[in-house]
Structure 1
Amino acid sequence: MSSIYLAGTADTKGDELAYLHDILTRSYANVLRVDLGTRAPKTEMDIPARDVAACHPDGADRILGTNDRGAAMNAMGVAFERFCKDREDDIAGIIGIGGGGGTSIVTAGMRQLPYGVPKVMVSTLASGDVAPYVDVSDIIMFPSVTDIAGLNRLSRVILHNAAQALLGMVGSPPPEQMDDKPAIGLSMFGVTTQSVTAISAALQESHDCLVFHATGTGGRAMERLAAGGILSGLIDITTTEICDLLFGGVLPANRNRLDVVAQTRIPYVGSVGALDMVNFWAPDTVPERYRDRKLYCHNSNVTLMRTTAEECGQLGRWIGHKLNACEGPVRFLIPQKGVSALDIEGGDFWDRAADSALFEALETTVVETELRRITILPHHINDPEFSAAAAAAFLEICQN
């Protein structure tokens, strides 16, 4: 029987760890307390900090032999990553508690575990920006409300509820997947929804279609699954995250966007979806240097900026160089009549010169081969004809 892992710094969170251990063991026999502290623990732990620290590439003394608490905690995060990776087959679920340092350490390990393994983090930081801690994982962040600095009438309730949430997930695992269709990833944004929905509908009989929201984390999650062999192909219609990467938007891809296609050689159909826009939050968050640009208020919290012809040329060349590194089957589709719901004749972002610069940069940069091809289509990206062509292109390269 695998175990629930209860993780935290026992030198500062001893009472809370003991309280959680008592709740968890009432319902689940195997609960292992993992100490992530850098000083002497204040409560009994099943796995001492030295055992975790020993997983660090430089050994336990790299963590426990220094008086620099900040450096020790950063190194403990690295050690806990390896610890969780090594024990992932034994972890039925994991729950952690922490403030700033503890949250960083515990979630570093949680992010190494497969999707679907229950992960609950009770944190003083959970009501703020949790992106650095969750990243592209499925960690559930529980706001602690009060500081984790001793038990009180509110913290007991919060910790109890977090423990029950984990026990519920561990005690009622999802049914085994019976779908034997190959899984593929599709990237989508609100302005390409019509296109991607139609592609998914066309392929759902033969493939399990996993659609990812192209918000930076969506693209990273999609490519992480592809790197892990869970996705057998990508239909990357919406590459808009690259705009935010190159021009300072708030939903950026990483620099390694598209590298997984080269590394895995999986079938890839891509396009220029939403390369007409860079994302910012509310209007007053748009950088000063962009204030005189064409802006569109998507809603009160999201402001879109139209990319210029010069920027579109940069985008086309950046993507083109990435595609040239791909030696597997690649089809890249160019919709001549527009790249998003806003980039359509009469639309707010309609700019034929910018689109032409994007398309020309792609055509002149991509080196076509027998496996790597660009196809120009006389359609808008949301036209049914474009969706049909994308689905057909994917089926073609899957069958060859």
Structure 2
Amino acid sequence: MQPRILIIGTGDTKADELDFMRAKVREAGGAPVMLDVSVLGDPPYTPEYDKHAVAAAADTTITAIIDSGDENSAMTLMAAGASRLAKELRERGEIDGIIALGGTMGTDLALDVALALPLGVPKFVVSTIAYSHLIPPERIATDLMMILWAGGLYGLNSTCKAVLSQACGAVVGAARVAEQPSRERPVVAISSLGKSCLSYMTTLKPELEKRGYEVVIFHTTGMGGRALEAIAAQRGFAAVMDFSLQELANHLADSVVTSGADRLENAGRAGLPQIVAPGAIDMVDFPTWQPVPKRFADRPYHAHNRLLASVTSDSEARRGIAREIGAKLAAAKGPAAFILPAGGIQEWDRQGEPLYEPEALAAFVDEMRRSVPEKVDLHEIPEHINSRAFIDKALSIFDAWVKEGVVPSGVSERQAAT
């Protein structure tokens, strides 16, 4: 296989770098396909897809893009065209992966292109702002790969060649061995926060697999929830068990450990069946290597490791989280159920553990009862979220939905019927 790699960049300003990348893709055994997103100038080489093709894909012209107002509006239009063009090329089977090069402008465009392509298509961005907080979670594609463009401000040098060559080899290799997601079995998504905090998935996963489903578990430490939301938006699941909403609580508390403002929205917007529970909404995360935020200085504290620490939110904040959950569930277009485990919502809020606050938990439970909309089935249980009772409740709701045809039957059940 000779993977066809779409190389994206502004050839009028970064011709040397892009030409070097084209050579490295060839050297790695790939077939380079150049897509030029220049606006004012032209590259010294002839790209397979020039700026006029990009503009046409955005239903406009380069002249109109130049006249659009400023560099921001111009690059936004080029991003729309490049995204549509890359998507069409992939759908026609003409590319196997992409690699894009840029500073803030090129990265801004590249993020849109990556989002336009489905999970399983290798996407590599070489950027001067890789891993920066300038990039919001919702702009990051589910399987995006990034590398810092060290020494890449102006022209080629040995430092940036080392980076560019790695990136080109990586995207060619990924395209050669990448497996596309299988849809042989219906897929059920489960959100969780690691086995030590939320452990229900250790039982739920094999139980659902016995029923013929593929189970995909998302670790809700920011980007895990982002991946869940992105795939849900593309209707990539048969059902969602969204049992760890801690990223939503983090977002409301302005924590950097967020998956964006649309957490708990995309499954509902897509009409997917979803069973929801408030796992770990009592915690607010922050980097362990930073001081505890002043507003949380007197709150119970738990260091999970040298990267991630948590404090608890107070009763009033938890009531606000409950109202936000209710509002998001109210907007869901598909069937939804909410399980309310009144006995606790994460492992460290048990009696004797560092985040145990029964009064604050009671306030949340009280507000949650008021906030769940009428169209959502509320299932309150007195037990903890990590109990067998919680698992049994989730499975009973799921099995009832399968019987009613709300959730498609698993492969094993379909085979048994035939």
TM-score of the two chains, using structure 1 as the length reference = 0.89
How many Å apart are 1:183 and its aligned residue?
Answer: 0.2
C-alpha spacing 1:82/1:326, structure 2 compared with 1 (3 Å): same
Mean alpha-carbon deviation: is it higher for 47-56 or for 180-189? 47-56
* 1:133-282 equivalences in 2 (<5 Å): 135-174=140-179, 177=182, 180-190=184-194, 191-205=196-210, 206-282=212-288
Paired residue type of 2:302? Y
Give 2:24's aligned residue.
23
Deviations 1:234-260 (A, max 9, x none): 111111112112222222343333333
Give 2:407's aligned residue.
none
Give 1:78's aligned residue.
80
CA contact (8 A) 1:240 1:274 kept: yes
CA distance in 1, matches of 2:319, 2:181: 47
Give 2:416's aligned residue.
none
How many Å apart are 1:386 and its aligned residue?
Answer: 1.7
Give 1:43's aligned residue.
44
How many Å apart are 1:273 and its aligned residue?
Answer: 0.3
Paired residue type of 1:11? D
How many Å apart are 1:27 and its aligned residue?
Answer: 6.0
CA distance in 1, matches of 2:51, 2:203: 52
* Aligned-residue identity in percent: 27
SS in 2 for 1:364: helix
CA distance in 1, matches of 2:256, 2:28: 43
C-alpha spacing 1:176/1:195, structure 2 compared with 1 (3 Å): closer
Mean alpha-carbon deviation: is it higher for 90-99 or for 321-330? 321-330
C-alpha spacing 1:257/1:176, structure 2 compared with 1 (3 Å): closer
CA contact (8 A) 2:142 2:230 kept: no
SS in 1 for 2:118: coil
CA contact (8 A) 2:285 2:311 kept: yes
CA distance in 2, matches of 1:136, 1:156: 26
Deviations 1:362-382 (A, max 9, x none): 21222445xx31112121111
SS in 2 for 1:121: strand
SS in 2 for 1:52: helix
Give 2:378's aligned residue.
374
* 1:303-318 equivalences in 2 (<5 Å): 303-318=309-324
CA distance in 1, matches of 2:229, 2:256: 19
How many Å apart are 1:148 and its aligned residue?
Answer: 4.9
Paired residue type of 2:117? L
Q: How many residues align?
A: 397
SS in 2 for 1:342: helix
Q: Which runs of 5+ in 2 are unaligned?
A: 405-418
How many Å apart are 1:66 and its aligned residue?
Answer: 5.9
CA distance in 2, matches of 1:366, 1:313: 12
Q: Which runs of 5+ in 1 are unaligned?
A: none
How many Å apart are 1:195 and its aligned residue?
Answer: 1.4
CA distance in 2, matches of 1:30, 1:238: 43
TM-score of the two chains, using structure 2 as the length reference = 0.86
